[in-house]
């Protein structure tokens, strides 16, 4: 009987077939997420208990110690379809002998390009202008160039490094903060407070952890240049959304681009503001990147059976 693989990431293999074919060629039985959205813990546990898979290709749903304890008798490998593994209790998985892998290279360019896209949108008021034209308002809104701006990158790993290269190609200056690095070939590393004070644009590219929860909060915003731009194309929970809302209203921050929220789907008070660009956690949602992520997530399993 083929080993079972539960696939919980919500849009897996939508329309391309390559990753599913790889599973089938590996003589694995697969079960897709029946809800086609992010699962809550109860739904995940129910699916695990129903199918008792040896392998799990996971999305961004929380995989807690409780979930791992329940599935420890049959679950052998978790392959995270994406970079971040902050949604998985890695300590518990290690203690229970469950191997955990991710796909660190696949989403890099997609997330970096979305970051630049949102950055340019905010600088040139593209979405705001589009909304105006659609409602009969043809007033022109003066924008600004990325060239010459100082872009502060918080988290200088794969994605942060890719963002640095892209902004420098526009003639911007890349500075960064990374608690794990002392030097970087493309980024001038500074302390966190120095980065806040010097950046015209701040872009977050770190995984979520309790230590970094609300790393951008009211205290951090006070240290930023007045009128700076903030982007979070990384993980929900890194930005205090109430503090951000206040800063956007007061002008302490001129505009923001947010792709990740503390609670998703998001319907909070940021949706009422004109000076934000909000996207529904689409950082890796480029066809090429998504396909590579899914194939790599399957290979993680096949290479470790």
**Residues designated as active site:** 235, 264, 281
Instruction: Assess contact for 70 and 246: CB atoms under 8 A.
Output: no
Tokens at 5, concatenated: 């693989």
Q: Which residue has the tokens 């240290």?
A: 223
């Amino acid at each position: 009987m083929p080993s079972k693989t539960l696939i919980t990431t919500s849009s897996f293999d939508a329309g391309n077939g390559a990753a599913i074919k790889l599973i089938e060629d590996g003589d694995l039985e697969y079960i897709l997420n029946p809800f086609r959205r992010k699962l809550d813990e109860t739904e995940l546990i129910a699916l695990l208990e129903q199918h008792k898979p040896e392998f799990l290709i996971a999305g961004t749903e929380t995989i807690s110690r409780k979930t791992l304890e329940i599935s420890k008798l049959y679950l052998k490998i978790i392959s995270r379809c994406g970079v971040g593994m902050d949604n998985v209790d890695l300590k518990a998985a290690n203690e229970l002998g469950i191997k955990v892998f991710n796909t660190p290279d696949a989403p890099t360019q997609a997330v970096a390009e979305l970051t630049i896209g949102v950055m340019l949108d905010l600088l040139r008021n593209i979405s705001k202008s589009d909304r105006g034209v659609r409602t009969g308002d043809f007033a022109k809104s003066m924008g600004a160039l990325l060239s010459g701006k100082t872009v502060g990158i918080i988290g200088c790993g794969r994605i942060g490094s890719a963002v640095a290269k892209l902004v420098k190609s526009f003639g911007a200056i890349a500075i960064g903060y990374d608690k794990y690095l002392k030097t970087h070939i493309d980024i001038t590393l500074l302390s966190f407070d120095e980065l806040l004070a010097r950046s015209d644009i701040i872009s977050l590219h770190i995984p979520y952890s309790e230590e970094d929860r609300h790393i951008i909060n009211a205290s951090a915003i006070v240290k930023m240049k007045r009128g700076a731009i903030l982007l979070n194309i990384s993980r929900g929970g890194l930005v205090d959304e109430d503090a951000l809302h206040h800063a956007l209203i007061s002008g302490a921050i001129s505009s923001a681009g947010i792709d990740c929220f503390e609670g998703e789907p998001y319907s909070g008070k940021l949706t009422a503001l004109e000076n934000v660009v909000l996207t529904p956690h689409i950082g890796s949602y480029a066809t090429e990147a998504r396909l590579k992520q899914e194939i790599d997530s399957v290979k993680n399993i096949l290479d470790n059976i």
